[in-house]
Structure 1
Amino acid sequence: MNDARRYCPLPSPFAMKRGGDLRGAHVAYETWGELSGARDNAVLILTGLSPSAHATSSADDPAPGWWEAMIGPGKAIDTQRWFVICVNSLGSDKGSTCPASIDPATGEAYRLSFPELALEDVANAAHIAVTSLGIERLACLIGCSMGGMSALAYMLLHPGSVRTHISVDTAPQAQPFAIAIRSLQREAIRLDPHWNEGHYDNTRYPDTGMSIARKLGVITYRSAMEWNGRFARIRLDAEERDEGPFGREFEVESYLEGHAQRFVRNFDPNSYLYLSRASDWFDIAEYGHGSVLEGLKLIHIEQAMVIGVSTDILFPLEQQEQIAEGLRAAGAAVEFVALNSPQGHDAFLVDIDNYSRAIGGFLNRL
């Protein structure tokens, strides 16, 4: 049992952007550090699609978190100075209300009766969690990947609630390449006969669809440079090969299979579909009369750091430049950091030295 996880009830009904509402819903979150008497040292982290709220270890839950090397005493996000909150996205099965949750109206899991999910809903739910802790204004809002898009929505929908922002490997809108990949991932899940229009269980479960979806994701999270450097054309030893026709022969195939196996039963397929589609739908240009720049200019904060990676094919560097330009046009003092990490989109989870230097440097200057 995760003793560090806490739950924030959402207002009932909780209205969703695209229609419908949730009743009796909640989001899961964890905190580290101490909130100051003035309540002015809170840092909120919004996550990518699959992570939980367990960003780093604590006395209540000593298991390593997904950003363990980044958060803690004396680390880049220093819990001796900052009160750090990480909220699990609404719609995620890592503790928040999601398609796998029980619908109080029916006593059955929502499955596909869960209302259409937008990242604006994720942002609004996170804002409720923050204000429930008595925090009116965040010292800093950090958004990674999908969480970066949720962070833009948060600042747009809740003016004055954020002083500074760190944008990590994200985008103001999904580009066609990212939409195409996510569309294929969803198709792989939906075409698995065990998905059964969302009505699967542990005995009939869309393992194959989830496996293909995860492999597609991992391919796009890293860069061709890294694939070449790590695997080249190295073949598996004879005893490790899959001897069936067209079976696994190369090391890179085995690597993808390992990633898929660790993921398949650890994330609810319907939740994956909902969050994936929410990422496609998000578009800050909706708020700027069709212009990304005009949408971003509606966000008013004091300072921002926008970090991107030259090898990121999912959220390319020019999209980080757009965010920096828009926030600057809105009056924020913006630092733009372009990293050359070979790890692509996943660099923020892997290239900790460079990200720590950037993020820790920014926070130290506040």
Structure 2
Amino acid sequence: MGDARRYHALSSPFRMKRGGQLHGARVAYETWGTLDAARGNAVLILTGLSPSAHAAANLEDPTPGWWDDMIGPGKAFDTDRYFVICVNSLGSDKGSTCPASVDPATGEAYRLTFPELSLEDVANAAHEAVTGLGITELTCLVGCSMGGMSALAYMLLHPGSARTHLSVDTAPQAQPFAIAIRSLQREAIRLDPHWNEGRYDDERWPEHGMSIARKLGVITYRSAMEWNGRFARIRLDPDQREENEPFGFEFQVESYLEGHARRFNRQFDPNSYLYLSRASDWFDISEYGDGDVMRGLGRIQVERAMVIGVSTDILFPLEQQETIAKGLEAAGAKVEFVALDSPQGHDAFLVDIENYSRAIGGFLGSL
């Protein structure tokens, strides 16, 4: 199996919003479909906190991607028509320069010497990758979850760089509930003795901290309705319980979360997780509107937009998507607002493919 991952070398120094800079940095990306002669059929996808650029299978890497059912010939992101790009966030350990990367100045991993990261930096790095492909205007800029906030920054910082916008389950700023959850996730990692101020290694890895952080995430990515429907109060069979373990797992939902945490644990660098989590908290579009969210959104110029949210999302509540829709409309865009009732909560865009596919495919098909 080949690697579909490509790399774009960022400008050096790459200057960051909060004052730091990177030398010799890069971002990873993957593509599907063919860029037309006019370079006018490009669609860029910016991801949530943990996904890689491998959004779907392609010729070089046939393994399923995180949005596999959405991208391909005849799918919502129709690769017979569009050239689809997915960029891995700066700061993520899935191929882009991140805290686990080697600092060329020292020859050692950055760890906590990595500069403070903002979603504006993520946006600027993605924009450099797109312009590196010779694309001056995207047909559509798509942002999911954290990537939706990065997409808002992208359009603000690079006016005219996207003709239309697809906003998926995101927000114009982090709300206190989301900040509180992410703060707890970071605390769980930092309190793990193996975290060791960011100086862990394969032998001493902050397993417990990452496990709790992931469990907290999974709980908030879904809805109470879904937890009730899937698990109710079903208990584990006696042979599945932790014998002689005081307060050990007793319910199926506990075991489910443990499985999720185990699968995630060594798949993501803890310091990268901390940096991207904090960047999500810091993002606030009102900074671009003299402290006013609507005024910040009012500075974004796109022709058309579709804003999708789900009523069961507790992390990025539906009213936040409504705010984005109203703000873009007030700025002159033709906006469609889609409120879905998927029971899966924030993760619905990864699970309720039928409804998201209909909305996104309909929007892209009409461009």
Shorter-chain-normalised TM-score: which range?
Answer: over 0.9
Q: Does 1:188 align with 2:188?
A: yes
Q: Which residue of 2 aligns with 1:309?
A: 310
| Cα distance in 2, alignment partners of residues 76 and 190 from structure 1 | 40
Deviations 1:342-361 (A, max 9, x none): 00000000000000000000
Partner of residue 361, structure 2: 360
Separation of aligned partners in 2, 1:306 and 1:151: 12
The C-alpha deviation readout for 1:301-344, integer Å capped at 9, x for no partner, is: 00000000000000000000000000000000000000000000
**Shift of residue 2 of structure 1?**
5.0
- Partner residue, 2:225: 225
Q: CA RMSD in A?
A: 0.6
* Cα distance in 2 between the residues matched to 1:72 and 1:187: 40
Equivalence for 2:275 = 274
SS at match of 1:56: coil
Correspondence for 2:7: 7
Question: How far apart are the structure 2 equivalents of 1:163 and 1:58?
Answer: 26
Q: For structure 2, list consecutive stretches of 5 or more residues without a partner in the other structure.
A: none
Is it true that 1:284 corresponds to 2:317 in the alignment? no
User: Over residues 95-130 of structure 1, what are the superposed CA-to-partner deviations in whole Å (9 max), with x where a residue is unaligned?
Assistant: 000000000000000000000000000000000000
- Tell me which residue corresponds to 1:135: 135
- Secondary structure of residue in 1 paired with 2:139: strand
Q: Distance in 2 between matches of 1:16 and 1:113?
A: 14
SS in structure 2 at match of 1:277 = helix
Structure 1 residue 47 corresponds to structure 2 residue 47 = yes
Corresponding residue of 1:126: 126
CA–CA distance in structure 2, aligned partners of residues 51 and 235 of structure 1 = 32
Counterpart for residue 256 of structure 2 = 255
C-alpha distance in 2, partners of 1:278/1:146? 9
TM-score (norm 1): 1.00
Q: CA deviation at 1:39?
A: 0.8
Tell me how far 1:242 sits from its aligned partner. 1.3
- CA drift at 1:20: 1.2
1:229: Cα distance to partner?
0.2
* Mapped partners of 2:253, 2:226: distance in 1: 11
Q: Deviations over 1:191-231 (max 9, x none)?
A: 00000000000000000000000000000000000000000
Shift of 1:264: 0.6
Ranges in structure 1 where 5+ consecutive residues have no aligned partner: none
Q: What percentage of aligned pairs have identical amino acids?
A: 81
- Which residue is 1:294 aligned to? 295
Amino acid across the alignment from 1:351: D
Structure 1 runs of 4+ aligned residues shifted over 2 Å read none
Between the aligned partners of 1:58 and 1:307, the Cα distance in structure 2 is: 26
Q: Name the CA distance, whole Å, in 1 between partners of 2:63 and 2:169.
A: 26
**Structure 2 Cα separation of the partners of residues 86 and 311 of structure 1:** 27
Local SS of the residue matching 1:248: coil
Q: Which residue of 2 aligns with 1:82?
A: 82
SS of equivalent to 2:37: coil
Counterpart CA distance in 2 for 1:31 and 1:253 is 38
3-state SS of paired residue (1:148): helix
Question: Could you tell me how far apart the structure 2 residues matched to 1:212 and 1:2 are?
Answer: 34
Corresponding position of 1:177: 177
**Aligned residue number for residue 148 of structure 1:** 148
TM-score, normalising length from structure 2?
0.99
Cα deviation digits, residues 175-204 of structure 1 (max 9, x gap): 000000000000000000000000000000
Provide the residue aligned with 2:340 in structure 1: 339
- Counterpart for residue 326 of structure 2: 325
Q: Which amino acid letter does the alignment assign opposite residue 345 of structure 2?
A: G
Q: Structure 2 counterpart of 1:316, which letter?
A: P
Deviations 1:35-87 (A, max 9, x none): 01111100000000000000000110000000000000110100110000000
1:110-160 residue CA offsets vs partner (Å, 9 max, x unmatched): 000000000000000000000000000000000000000000000000000
Name the SS of the counterpart of 1:160 in structure 2. coil
Q: Secondary structure at the match of 2:211?
A: helix
Rounded to whole Å, the distance in 2 between the matches of 1:354 and 1:158 is 31
TM superposition shift of 1:3: 1.8
CA distance in structure 1 between the aligned counterparts of 2:286 and 2:269, rounded to whole angstroms: 31
How far apart are residue 13 of structure 1 and its match?
Answer: 0.3
Change (3 A) 1:133 1:53: same
